[in-house]
Each structure stands twice: as C-alpha cells, then as structure tokens.
Structure 1
C-alpha cells in the first residue's frame, strides 16, 4: 500500500475532523475521496501529508510515517485554491520548488520542460504568473505537484478552475500517471469527472466514511425507473420496502430484480397508479453520493 490508515481520528477540541477512517490505496490506483464541504476530506488529507497529527489511529505512506523526509519526496500535492507568487515566472516557480526537492541541476532542467510541456505551459514559461488565467494557474500548480516525479499524488479539486478542454487534458494526465504506476488520491466535487477515472471511492460525511469500495462494484446496483402518477399511500408503501431515489415525474426503485417487476407493476395498477413508463437503469455516482450523505445507504465493500 502507498497509503494506509487504520481508525484514523482527528479532533479539534471537541469538534470532529474525521473519525475512525480506515482505507488503503495501492500503487497505480486512482482513489476518489468524496464528501460535502466540511465533511472531513481536508482534515484527512492534511493528516496524511503530516501537516496535522492524528488524535488517535495511524496513517502510513509507503509503510512509514508521513513525517519521514524520504517519504515526503515521493509525494506530490495540489491543494485547492492555491495562491501562486504573481511576480514569478512559471520557470522561476518550478526552479524554486526543484531546489526544495534537492533536484540536481541537469534533472531539474529536464523536469521543468517535461511538466510544463505536459500541462501545455512551456511556451509561457517566461511569462509572469500575474498574466496567467485562472485555468493556467491551476495547470501550473499541477506542474509543481508533478515536478518531483511523485509515486503518490494528492489532487484537491484539480479541475475546478478549468474549462471542458482543460478538464479532459487533466483527466488524460491522471490516467497516464496511473499507467506509470503512480497512485492518485483525488478530491473532487465533479462526480461525473470522478466516475470517468476513479478505480475506488470513499464517501465521507460528518467525519465518517459512509460508503467505500471499488467504483465498478458500488455502481453495479440496478433498479427500475417508474414515471407516472402514484397515490401517496402507495408511494409510501414502496418507499418502506425499497431503497428509492427521486426522478423527474417519477420514482427510482433500487436493487429491484427483473423477477420482481411484474408484481410491482400489478401492485401499482391495482393501487390506482397511472404508469407512463417503466425501464431499467444503472446507478450513477451522483445517486450513490446522495444516498450515502443522506444516510439512505451504507455500502461498504
């Protein structure tokens, strides 16, 4: 494991940052850590980076403490809403960070060209950062995170300031890193983006993990979408028996097998419902997220 936590807990006085977080990330895995604002994502990441000390529990990077300097050299970090020194050029900023990483001059020169080319900023390497758009600054921050050739990369909202083309380019960088065996720990509110790249997902709310597992397994749940006019009493009866999700002018019943559909349809018709459409569907990450955060589903694989 490149990252492993066991019952990691962090309190701020009496306030919970995160509690009993146990998870692991393997080499070459894209692990998405999801949750609403204030859920505990940043607390966990800062503890994993050694910026905070846990109240209890343990966390290890490459089997060692996050405070180990040799471990830190294997880690890259792109924080959310990063502020860059506007008076510097991109090349000056990367050279500064390269010196902090103790990169030899020859390697540093090569890496600066590689990461700026990868983030499509090479032609602007001599421009002051104050002339950069927000999207360019985000890509430059990503270049800084990649400079030391990390084996574990923490990305906090890496596509938040990017246009659709920029998001595609960052997705390509992330999947390319995976092919190289780099593990990516990804925080993002853009669930559709996560769904395209993530291997595993953990959903956190109020400091605790609410759902966790391989993304393909978590989204394997299927059900039926019913559109029509359903009497309230019948609707409540269905909700008491099945996990449900909202849909425009309709209802989603989760975990319903094909064998159950005829009986459900008979019940609806006999109960006075006017049904316009019935069709199968596959669960989406957004739906899983809402269910987990609202406490409707406690999936843990």
Structure 2
C-alpha cells in the first residue's frame, strides 16, 4: 500500500494559482522530493494533503485514509515553511503542550520529549525561552514538534531554509535516520543541492503543474561522459564507439579531454584502446548529471513547449 497517494489532486483559488492534476504514489521508507521555485504550488499541495485546504478536484490518501480525515492527520507530522510558536514558552514547555495535543500518554511524555530534543540537536537549549531562539534553533524546535508523535509520514516544507551549513547537515542526517526507521519523508524544497543528497525520487513542479516525476537520475537521458587525462594526444584515431571528444586543457606532456559515449560500458573499452595504442592513461573521472541539470532540463522543456503552443 502506498503511504501517500493522489489522483489528479487539484487545489486552485478561484480557478487560478495553486496546483493542478497531481497524481503520485509514494511508498514506505522513502525521502521524496517535491521540487519547484517559490510560488510553484508546493506548499499548497502539502496543506491540501494535510486537510488544511479543501481540494477543488481529485483525491488523496495518507496510509489509505482520505486526506482531511482525522485518521490521516493522526499519522502525519508537519513542519510548515513559516511558523510561529508562543515565544513566552520554553522549548520543553512547547513540546509538552504538543505532546498533550497528540495524546501521548503522560507516562511516556518525558522520555519521548527527551528523545526528539536529542534527535534535532538542541540538547541543553530546550529550557530556554523561544523568544531567545535563533532562526536555526527555532527551526529545530519546529522539527521536534513535527516528529514528536512518531508519525509514519512527515511533511517538511523548506526545512533547511533558515539553517547554517551545520544545521543543514543535521537535518539531512535526521531525514536519513527517519527513512531508516521506515518513515516516509515528503520534502518540499527549492534548494536542489540539498535534495540531491537525500532523495532518490522526485516530482518537479512549475507554475502549478507537475512536469515530471520518478527516479531523478533517470529523468534526463544523456550520453555517458568522462573527463580523462592522458599522454599528449597528437593525431589519435578515435574508435567508433566514441561519439564526441573535446580537449579541455593541453599541457606539455599531458592532455585533459572530455569524451562522450552512448553507454558506460564503453569506458573500459576506451581505456583498453588507449593502452593498446601506447597512450598512457593517468586519470578517468565519470561525469554524472546533478539534480540542478535535471531540473533545468525539464523546466526549459516546459517553457519551450508553451512558447511553441502560443505561436
């Protein structure tokens, strides 16, 4: 059974904005990236999934329960992008009030609160007033609230936007920990380099439309490429399986080149070919696309198709 499932889920505002016709299925133990620039409908989608907004079309389910139902919300944790807590409370007092709202038994509250304090990296700061928290510490207490009830699915909306590099790494480590515990993490973000390190599967949204979804490393078909350092190349006859080559830097005794193939399996063939022709190989570095490359590929493709459609 899918942990998160939608069928043509749509939420617009008087027929405009929002997000339209989102259909996806996300399994257990997954960190799923929902990617797009600000204003693309990411937060609208999450708030609709959590029942904070009423959909204008389609349907959605969390662990088989219809979105908006009490049962679906009981199984979810949520960190909004913009949130404010009563700043006269201490961090521990805030967590205690959330534990009461989540109906965590009194006997278990102290232990669970201490667990999440340690998980989000705010040990020793939990008794300070929220009014004195930095942006990073406020983000950490928000994360603690989101996972306090040990939810099976956690929606995180731009969770690293207010954090320094150490804090961002802590959040990435927390997401990986939750995944390893069998949780499903739905990550809203426009920080592609953050998503790349934790997500295998993504959806890309732009101007309210979901453009593409799937394993992000498979979403852009490109030829295999390597950067290679060899002996000085003079008049080499490239084999047929090399479909492109470009010299990046020419030195006195060595050459740095970019070589392009149709398949990765051609890389050892190239090394064997060069060696057989007495050309020394000193370095071979495969070049793989980054998530930013994939994102821009699909966004530009959408822009081009729209431009053609308007002609």
Are 1:56 and 2:57 matched, yes or no? Answer: yes
SS in 2 for 1:260: strand
Deviation at 1:14, TM superposition (A): 2.5
Are 1:260 and 2:246 matched, yes or no? Answer: no
CA deviation profile, 1:144-164 (whole Å, cap 9, x unmatched) = 001000100000111111111
2:38–2:190 Cα contact (<8 Å) kept: no
Structure showing greater relative contact order (alpha-carbon pairs closer than 8 Å, 6 or more residues apart): 1
Deviation at 1:260, TM superposition (A): 2.8
1:79–1:156 Cα contact (<8 Å) kept: yes
Deviation at 1:172, TM superposition (A): 0.8
Deviation at 1:223, TM superposition (A): 5.6
Are 1:93 and 2:101 matched, yes or no? Answer: no
Deviation at 1:296, TM superposition (A): 5.6
The residue number in structure 1 matching 2:173 is 172
**Runs of 4+ more than 4 Å apart:** 223-226
The residue number in structure 2 matching 1:122 is 123
Deviation at 1:205, TM superposition (A): 0.6
2:158–2:187 Cα contact (<8 Å) kept: yes
Are 1:2 and 2:8 matched, yes or no? Answer: no
The residue number in structure 2 matching 1:75 is 76
CA distance in 1, matches of 2:124, 2:220: 42
CA distance in 1, matches of 2:31, 2:62: 15
Deviation at 1:187, TM superposition (A): 0.9
1:219–1:284 Cα contact (<8 Å) kept: no
The residue number in structure 1 matching 2:296 is 290
Structure 2, unaligned stretches of length 5 or more? 228-239, 247-255, 261-286, 305-311
CA distance in 2, matches of 1:182, 1:127: 30
Structure 1, unaligned stretches of length 5 or more? 227-256, 266-275
CA deviation profile, 1:11-36 (whole Å, cap 9, x unmatched) = 21120311111011111011000011
CA distance in 1, matches of 2:28, 2:303: 29
**Aligned-residue CA RMSD (Å):** 2.3
SS in 2 for 1:123: coil
CA distance in 1, matches of 2:13, 2:205: 17
The residue number in structure 1 matching 2:15 is 14
Counterparts of 1:4-43 in structure 2, within 5 Å, are 4-43=5-44
TM-score w.r.t. structure 1 length? Answer: 0.79
Deviation at 1:202, TM superposition (A): 0.3
1:46–1:52 Cα contact (<8 Å) kept: yes
CA distance in 1, matches of 2:223, 2:302: 16
TM-score w.r.t. structure 2 length? Answer: 0.77
The residue number in structure 1 matching 2:237 is none
Q: How many residues align?
A: 256
Deviation at 1:219, TM superposition (A): 5.8
SS in 1 for 2:139: helix
Residues 179/219 of structure 1: CA separation in 2 closer, same or farther (3 Å cut)? farther
1:48–1:59 Cα contact (<8 Å) kept: yes
CA distance in 1, matches of 2:130, 2:111: 21
2:9–2:57 Cα contact (<8 Å) kept: yes
SS in 1 for 2:115: helix
Which stretch of structure 1 is more off in the superposition, 156-165 or 10-19? 10-19
CA distance in 1, matches of 2:241, 2:41: 39
The residue number in structure 2 matching 1:268 is none
Deviation at 1:277, TM superposition (A): 5.6
